[in-house]
Amino acid sequence: MVIPAYNAEHTLGAGLRALLAQIEQWPQPVEVIVVDDGSQDGTAALAQALGVRVITQPNQGPGGARNHGVREACGDLVLFIDSDCEPAPGWLAAMAAAFARADIIGVKGAYLTRQRELAARFVQIEYEDRYDRMRTQEYIDFIDTYSAGYRRAVFLENNGFDTIFSTGSNEDQEFSFRLAQKGYHMRFVPDAQVYHQHDKTLAEYVRRKFYIGYYKALLTRWLPERLVKDSHTPQVLKVQMALITLALAALPLALFWRPALWGAAALTLAFLLSALPFTVKALRKDWPVGLVAPFMLAVRALTLTAGFAAGRFHFRGDAQGARRPVLSAWQRVGKRLLDVSGAVVGLAISLLPMVVIAIAIKLDTRGPIFFSQDRVGENGRLFRVYKFRSMVDNAELRRHEVVDLDALSEPAYKIRDDPRVTRVGRWLRRFSLDELPQFVNVLRGEMSLVGPRPEEAALVARYNDWQRRRLSVKPGMTGPMQINGRGDLTLAQRVALEVEYIEHYSLWRDVAILLKTLPAVLRGEGSY
């Protein structure tokens, strides 16, 4: 348990006492570490008086404090609360239970509040609205550290929080996004609740939202895909930011061009309509908050926009945060255009051959023409891959006859002379014709024409941290593996090629791999 603290004497005591009361009832040892991050009040003395371990360091921000605490911790799991949080009864049990599944490496809890200030009550309903969304998701990609936990080994292997986020804003988002990029599984645990002191005034709320937007500009420069979607941020918020900004921009224009006034009015109406679902929810929970909800949502949208614009300006160029994204926004757009156009052409060219293949499969053996299976895609998301069936109908049930996954020296296998492969299937595999239906996966956005090989979930679950780097882009129909030996490569050789492809990505490289694919297929190296 790591608690970062900076001048937190007036808030730390209640949280520590509540936590220690839960630990007294816990059957296993729990280590509590308070990292005093340059406090100038009695924070350290208070923590020591309560009998917990205190680490003192010069001010490095909450991210640096948490990193220090994790390095000093001894357990396999490390849990976080903030110094202004008080864990509710059952918090420790809920957090620990979430890690019962071995594939879960991170968890996130929820806020409660006892405050009566109107701003604080709005903030609480704002969080509850987001919790309602996360309850519907099996896995999340966004963990706030006010009530959070990670497997310590994974935390350290990924270097913890980036300390460039010096004000305690977005460093937790960035870290969880970075882990999600590797396909790690994280979960929302609504019963792991902590009481918190939310913003008491409108000024406090505006300041916090401004800095969230400010550092979001840096975060999305590194992870541009998070501008599109994450498990925490409502999509309607992005719409509201655009609507309110355009409405205000139209007002000065109305001084010279009267139709702009009508445009501003229409944009304002659209904003109010977008705010209606949240407003109705707030009215049902706390009617005074519901009455001010449209105004607060407008303030939120404007403040986040202003902060984001300021951050974009400040972090422009390479002066700050020079870390390169996996794929830039423009690279993603270019790659998607290539995928869609290539898949359409590919389907048109291969339509007649696919009809012939379908007939051959039906004449050869009993069973369906197509084979589908769950595979792991970008950021570990599962999707259903489609192929022509090249094995007997019950091949998956007979896998144990040819390979024992638990006995593999590495999480990968290719079997020469697999007895499950049919006569037609051997021919299809020799020329990679069994993969032609994957043009459909490309059109659906689940795969790319070029990328790492899509792998089975059972194998990905056995990956180490380095091997997971191949999950940061969409899998491909072809890729560096397919033009460099295919099944003859070891997993280490394949991952090295794929990571190098990701780290030095260019659209021209995709084109070059596509051009090399047909000669590689005709050579047939590693095709079994």
pLDDT above 60: residue 284:
yes
Query: Which tens digits make up the pLDDT trace of 463-480?
Result: 999 999 999 999 999 999
Dihedral sign for Cα atoms in the order 507, 511, 514, 516 = negative
Q: What is the dihedral of CA 283, 289, 291, 295, to 10 degrees?
A: -130
Weakest mean pLDDT among 73-82, 116-125, 438-447, 484-493: 484-493
pLDDT at residue 4, as a whole number: 84
User: Which residues on adjacent β-strands are paired with residue 373?
Assistant: 385
User: Which residues on adjacent β-strands are paired with residue 4?
Assistant: 35
Question: Cα(290)–Cα(295) distance, rounded to whole angstroms?
Answer: 10
Kind plus residue range of the DSSP H or E element containing 180: helix 171-181
Query: Which tens digits make up the pLDDT trace of 407-457?
Result: 888 898 888 888 999 999 999 998 999 999 999 999 999 999 999 999 999
Grouping H, G, I as helix, E, B as strand and the rest as coil, residue 454 is coil
pLDDT at residue 417, as a whole number: 82
Cα of 263 vs its chain's centroid, Å: 37
Q: Which parts of 188-286 fold into alpha helices (H)?
A: 202-222, 235-254, 259-285
> Once rounded to an integer, what is the mean pLDDT over residues 502-527?
89
Give the chain's length: 528
Contact between residue 462 and residue 523 where contact means Cβ atoms under 8 Å apart: no
Report the DSSP pairing between strands 104-112 and 185-196: parallel
CA-to-CA separations, 520 to 134, 138, 177, 486, 490, in angstroms, rounded: 45, 40, 36, 9, 18
Grouping H, G, I as helix, E, B as strand and the rest as coil, residue 358 is helix
Cα of 494 vs its chain's centroid, Å: 24
Kind plus residue range of the DSSP H or E element containing 67: helix 61-72
> Once rounded to an integer, what is the mean pLDDT over residues 277-306?
97
Amino acid letter, 358: A
Reported as a pLDDT band with limits 50, 70 and 90, residue 526 is low
Weakest mean pLDDT among 119-133, 241-255, 371-385: 241-255
- Kindly state the tokens that stand for 231: 């498990």
Question: Cα(204)–Cα(26) distance, rounded to whole angstroms?
Answer: 37
Q: What is the residue-averaged pLDDT of the chain?
A: 92
Contact between residue 495 and residue 468 where contact means Cβ atoms under 8 Å apart: no
pLDDT at residue 143, as a whole number: 95
Question: Cα(165)–Cα(410) distance, rounded to whole angstroms?
Answer: 37
Question: Cα(17)–Cα(227) distance, rounded to whole angstroms?
Answer: 40
Question: Cα(72)–Cα(76) distance, rounded to whole angstroms?
Answer: 12
How many other C-beta atoms are found inside a 10 Å radius of the C-beta of residue 283?
14
Q: What is the dihedral of CA 308, 313, 314, 319, to 10 degrees?
A: 130
Question: Cα(45)–Cα(1) distance, rounded to whole angstroms?
Answer: 18
Query: Which tens digits make up the pLDDT trace of 107-152?
Result: 999 999 999 999 999 999 999 999 999 999 999 999 999 999 999 9
| Residue located via tokens 């959070």 | 148
Query: Which tens digits make up the pLDDT trace of 312-361?
Result: 998 876 544 567 899 998 999 999 999 999 999 999 999 999 999 999 99
pLDDT above 70: residue 168:
no
Amino acid letter, 14: A
pLDDT at residue 319, as a whole number: 47
Report the DSSP pairing between strands 476-478 and 448-450: parallel
SS (H, E, C) 436-453: CCHHHHHHCCCCEEECCC
- At residue 182, φ and ψ (nearest 5 deg) are -95, 5
pLDDT above 70: residue 213:
yes
Q: Taking CA 80 as the corner, what is the angle to CA 174 and CA 170, rounded to the nearest 5 degrees?
A: 20
